[in-house]
Every structure is written in structure tokens, then in C-alpha cells.
Amino acid sequence: MMEPQWSPALPPIAKDQVRNLFTVLWHLAPCSECLDTAVSGKCKTPECSTRMHQSRFSLYMSYYKRLCASYEPLVMTGHPALRTHDDIRRVVEHLKAHPDKTKAEIQKLVFPKPNDPADESNALNLGVSIAMMLNCGSQEYSSILLEDGCNRIVWRQGTTLTHYLQLVLPRREALSPRRQLQQAFLDPSCPLVTAKELKRRAGTRFRGTDDITNHLRYDAINNVLFVFHHATILKEHLRLSSRCGSNPSELTCLKVGALPRQYALEVLHSSQKILFPLWDSESVTLLQSLVDGAGFDSEILNGNDNDFIGDDEEKIDFEYLWPRLSEIYQEIQNPRPRGWLENWLERRSGARYVMLATVAGVAFAVLLGMASLAVSSYQSYLAYEDFHNNNNKRRGWGNA
């Protein structure tokens, strides 16, 4: 019986492969200077994908390299599905061209000569992770890609890419009673959900995530809020879908290689206008600290989005992120109990703090009573000693 062998990791990506990858992902055309000569980090052409790779896209390239490093297929015979970064580019091209085909159909198109079905399936999952920045949830996939609490829905062979995106990004039409509160989320005069309030009232910490489906997921156990911070990539997706007309469908967006436009807008607006409103100096300071200390993408501080966001998209209904925004709002209004004492007390914020104040008052009264008793006892002891000493002196005078 032939022993399985682990294939080596993908080789380092070359600069021309980076250019080709960016062209496929976001239609970024490299400049003629970089095509005609050796790639140089001194290129200043705005459209040059190489310049963007070295500056704006450095975080994405770190993410890309981590994904590629995790690809170690167990090959019984033949060769692995992905041997070069050009193979990855080819996978992404087919995903963009056929979002309405099932995974099995795309797999046959990408790999016309079948070898290892599990390896080929994982190669498609890797392509989705690279193109959409989400964990594709393969059961056989490397555990390196799994982030606590992130998407683990498997893209099955009989499911189209469009339907898979609908599963991992469920869209909920906003009910009319919720619309007023949703609009209030974007009202600068009434900030209902902000990171500074969440930190001040609940002591919440913020953690960047590379999985866009994990955006605004609240980990109540560890009191951590996950934020998709790759604003550079998010804006590239919005630029792509801006060519698709008004309110494009998921299928229309996927055909140009973009995330559903409504979801991308909600992620960007929830970051720059709700959680960290860029017009609030305290929120900007907090966000800057996350850029400096937690590795957030600095592009998240840039609110200049007029070239790919229409005037009618400045305020939107949160059809995807409404449940998570609501959970954050409830956490601000009624923080979960954290210590053992708060866990023992009633969970509702108002009642909990009333009872906490009552218990503190009773404890203070008991301590004050004990202190008063101690002082009274000491005073009685001093009085007794004084009385006893006076009697002894009188007896001494009488004997004299």
C-alpha cells in the first residue's frame, strides 16, 4: 500500500504573480513601467498594483501568505491541486466566472483531470477565502484557518457559490418597528452603539478579524467584539460592485468578483459611522490606538468614499448586521454581569445595580456598627481602668 506524503507548501509568491493576482481580484492594472522593467518599490503610479502591494495591501498579503502556508494537502498519488500561485489565480478566475454553478461543476472546470477530490475541494475553498476574505468552512481544511466563533458552514458539492454566500451571510429584511432604531444608529446626534461606550460601560475589548462574516460578532464569555478591519479590501469590493447598478443582487456582485454590495456597505458604515464615528475625536483616538497596537488597517480611518458610494447609500437599512448591532446596543444598555458578585445578583442592569447599592449600603452599615461597637467597648475599658485606678489611689491615701 502506498504511503501518503505531505506535499511542500506553496513557494513564495513572485512580484509578477502579485500583479496578476491583483488584476484578477480587483481589476488593478499595473503600470507600463513595472511591466517593462524590473519591479521597483519606488513606483508612484496610483493604479500600479505593485505600489499598492508594498503599501496599502501589506495586511492583505500577510493574510494571503498565511492561507497559502496552511495549504498542505495529503497526496496519495499524482500531484497537489495547487502547485503555484498561478493555480490559485486560475481558481479565482473560475469562481468569478461561474458563481451560479455548483461546487462540483466548478471543480470539474478547474481540474478537468481529476486527481484527489478532497484536495481539489480544499483548493476551491482556499480560492473563496482569498477572494472574499471568509472562512469557507471545509471539514477537511487546515485548523489554521479556523478562528473561534467564525463561519464553519461547509460549501457542499451541490451548492452554488451564490447560494453558499447567502447561507453564510443571511439577509434579514428590516421590520417596520425596527426601522426607527436602525436610522438612529446612523444619527450623529444620538450615537446608540459606539465602541467608546461599549468599552466604558462594559469594559469590552476589540479584536480585528480576517473573516468578514465575523464582523461585529460579540464574544460574551471573553467580552470581546470582533471587527473586520480590512477597509482597503472592503473598499475594493465596493468599487467593483459600484459598476453593477442600483441595489445589485448577490449573483451580479459575484460575477464581478465582489461581495454583496449591501453587506459591504453595512460593514463599512458600521465601522466608520456607528462603532467608531469618524466625526468624534474620542472614537478616532480609540480607533487609532487599535491601528497602532492591534494591527488594524489604517485605511479604516479614511472616510473619503465618495467615488464609490452614492448619495442614496449614505444611510441604509441594516439587513445583514441588524441582529449584531442590536446585541451590542443591549450590552451597552444592560451590561452582562462580570464578577462573581454581579453574577450572583440579578442580571438586569437596573435591578442589579440597585441591589448592588443596597448590599453595599448594608455592608457599610454593618461595618460602621462594628466600628461603633469597638469604639464603645474601648471607651468602656478606659472608663473602667480610670475608675479602678482612682479606687486604688483612694485606698492608698486612706491607709496612709
Q: Give the DSSP per-residue string, 41-107.
A: TT---TT-HHHHHHTTTHHHHHHHHHHHHH---EESSS--S--SHHHHHHHHHHHHH-TTSBHHHHH
pLDDT tens per residue, range 185-230: 555 545 678 999 999 988 999 999 999 999 999 998 899 999 999 9
C-alpha cell at 207: 479584536
Residues 9 and 157 in one domain: yes
* Confidence band for 4, pLDDT divided at 50, 70 and 90: very low
> How confident is the model over 304-322, as a mean pLDDT?
84
Looking at 152, 168, 184, the residue that finishes a domain is 168
Residues 149 and 54 in one domain: yes
Number of domains within the chain: 3
Torsion angle, alpha carbons of 252, 256, 257, 258, to 10: -60
pLDDT at residue 1, as a whole number: 40
283 and 343 in a common domain? no
| 232 lies in the same domain as 257 | yes
Q: For the chain, what is the mean pLDDT?
A: 80
More confident residue, 44 or 251: 251
> What is the reported pLDDT for 280?
92
Pair (13, 82) in one structural domain: yes
Q: Does residue 368 share a domain with residue 257?
A: no
Nearest to 247 by CA among 226, 236, 263, 268: 263
Higher pLDDT, 351 or 130: 130
> Where is the domain boundary, 142, 168, 194?
168
- Give the residue among 300, 129, 305 at the shortest CA–CA distance from 229: 300
> Above 50 in pLDDT, residue 54?
yes
Binning pLDDT at 50, 70 and 90, where does residue 331 land? confident
List beta partners, residue 218.
225
**Residue 283 banded pLDDT, cuts 50, 70, 90:** very high
For residue 22, count CB atoms less than 10 angstroms from its CB and return exposed for 0-12, middle for 13-18, buried for 19 or more. buried
| Sheet with 205-209, side-by-side order of all strands | 205-209, 224-228, 218-219
132 touches 259 (CB < 8 A): yes
What does the alpha-carbon distance between residue 49 and residue 60 come to, in Å, rounded to a whole number? 13
Check pLDDT > 70 for residue 28. yes
Examine the pLDDT at 142 and tell me if it is beyond 70.
no
Q: Which domain, by its residues, includes 383?
A: 339-400
Instruction: Say what the pLDDT of residue 282 is.
Output: 95
pLDDT interval class at 377 (50, 70, 90): confident
Q: Please choose, from the candidates 309, 296, 304, the residue with its C-alpha nearest in 3D space to the C-alpha of residue 264.
A: 309
- Let me know whether 224 and 85 are in one domain: no
Residue, of 36 and 238, whose pLDDT is higher: 238
pLDDT for 322 equals 87
Q: Helix, strand, coil % (nearest 5) of the chain?
A: 55, 5, 40
Residues 232 and 314 in one domain: yes
Residues 231, 233, 239: CA angle, nearest 5 degrees: 100
One domain, residues 253 and 400: no
* Domain match, 186 and 327 both: yes
Residues 108 and 245 in one domain: no
**SS3 per residue for 258-317:** CCCHHHHHHHHHHHHHHHCCCCCHHHHHHHHHHHHHCCCCHHHHCCCCCCCCCHHHCCCC
Of 151, 168, 185, which residue sits at a domain end?
168
For residues 197-222, one letter each, b for 16 or more C-beta atoms within 10 angstroms of the residue's C-beta and e for the rest, the string is: bbbeebebebbbbbbbbbbbbbeeee
Percentage of the chain lying above the pLDDT 90 cut: 43
195 and 232 share one domain: yes
Q: Are 88 and 19 contacting, i.e. CB atoms less than 8 angstroms apart?
A: no
Q: Are 21 and 81 in contact (CB under 8 A)?
A: no
